[in-house]
Structure 1
């Protein structure tokens, strides 16, 4: 299969994107250019039960109501982003739909129960078996709706087990499997693609959004992921208060660090201590000088006032100080953009980078000036009598 970059030159089309190479090596093109599917899709296929037409009970995502009914509203859904090894061998976050299948298995090694056997267990012609209908029909209306047609109790599960065993199947049991399906259609142009940095670089990041695996779990079990998909599943499957299943990805387990979304507590603590310590040092330094100036006021002298340092040294000093403070400020915004909603995250990144370049250039010129002019001597103590005078 051909890749997007074989025809599209990202260097020309993504000049607005900071750190293009880092993004292209971590995020698949489809992740941003297929931000949403504007149709319904299969969510769960439950073969532990059968409908009257001999099919699995299915639920769909992206629709309010039954899929296929023209009166129901199509809402669409957001694909889940999962790490996948692509054709070039690079692991990138790519969009998927997760479809959960539940089915009966038997024997050792386990094999799926045949459809013919399931029909024999559930159906009697074009109706349900009498004992199956009695067990599943909660409201007693003689029909099984989508909520009733579920193996959601021990009584229902044991009934179906007994009927399968009566057919000669050994140790029948329910198994669930989640199969990821890659999404490659409905590609949109730049006007509709994901461009806002905070869509990913925030607490409510797209990369950590859970995806529903189904409104219920037959038999109360937990499904497993299909193997040999080239996809890493390092997140967690959890159940909400209604019994619905969700898969929540965890990109930190994939060594993917997103500024603004991920954080490492010890590094945050060290960073804040460094910032607060620097500010405290500045306040203490400036405060002490003001205190001493007030304590020992200068008497007027018939002397010419001169600066202790040259114009360039003063310019270098204050430029360096201002740039460092701005670097701290923009760095904090980049690290925690959710705390600074008023700031443009996409603008802070290039500003931060420009400030870093300016800091380095300023430092290089300062080193050259101090060595070329000999002013470096003021920072070098003279050994003779230095320690004695210091003590």
Structure 2
């Protein structure tokens, strides 16, 4: 893989850099570096306005085909955009669930009518989405979901509960994996429904985390409704669609994720330099290893994405999840280690966590959500290494 810019990519890089330099100014300049894990509450409305400015400039949904409102950007161009976005310290996006998960899923599995209805508002950041997968009794075991939907004339009626639903409190729509065949077992009889959030029968309860923030939520469906035509894929065929969404989640979106990681590491390095902690050979070694780990993550993502573009990617994406989750948890530990003993103390009223404390606490969950490390190791062992499978009931 040649990682140097071609003439086309170099021109694209200049275009991205110039546009960001021209537009990340005024009120938007105040949003630089804001958002990210444990920090989604930061300047949310300003970041939403920034996302819409990106849409006006044609910088959302870059990799989508042009006929669906995207730019048809190549993988290399998408990587260039994310690199320049990180270099400009532009704010973390708020529309990523729709752009990176739901949109590609509808393009791949949806009907033409669904594409016309749902894709344009994602491109324009006029509708925000959340993901209704996990439940209190079905976290990593996604096939065990029990939220159910039954037909009632032209509608589906939903009852049940989802949990750990990121940004549900600001979302307009939810894509949910639900059981539509009560006689179905495990992944059979599941359907992938698109559900409006602003209606009677939908209750969102924020979950207060260790960080004191609440980007995760519980979502309760009690007679909530959605149109029958809002099933993506076949009724009862939701498992295949849901797995497709997870594949997109571990696609180009991982490059966007690394924007945040790189920014966090840069701030940790700046702190170590300012406090003299960088002179400690052990800490210097850990910071160096973190930089190497981030570069390994980037190169692995590029290799995996290149394989996906050629149609050869498989469960190797689990390696990426295992790597970034473990890396990010270690980055949180490094942040408080660099801060030293004083980093364990809140500065004063109202005793809010600082950036490094929030990073440490939030990343405790990285190796659990989105598929725990244990689940990823099992997938790698069985489907990549070909080892004997676990005994299952």
Q: Normalized against structure 2, the TM-score is what? A: 0.24
The TM-score with structure 1 as length reference comes to 0.24
Computing the radius of gyration over CA atoms, which structure comes out larger, 1 or 2? 1
Higher strand proportion (structure 1 or 2): 1
Higher helix share: 2
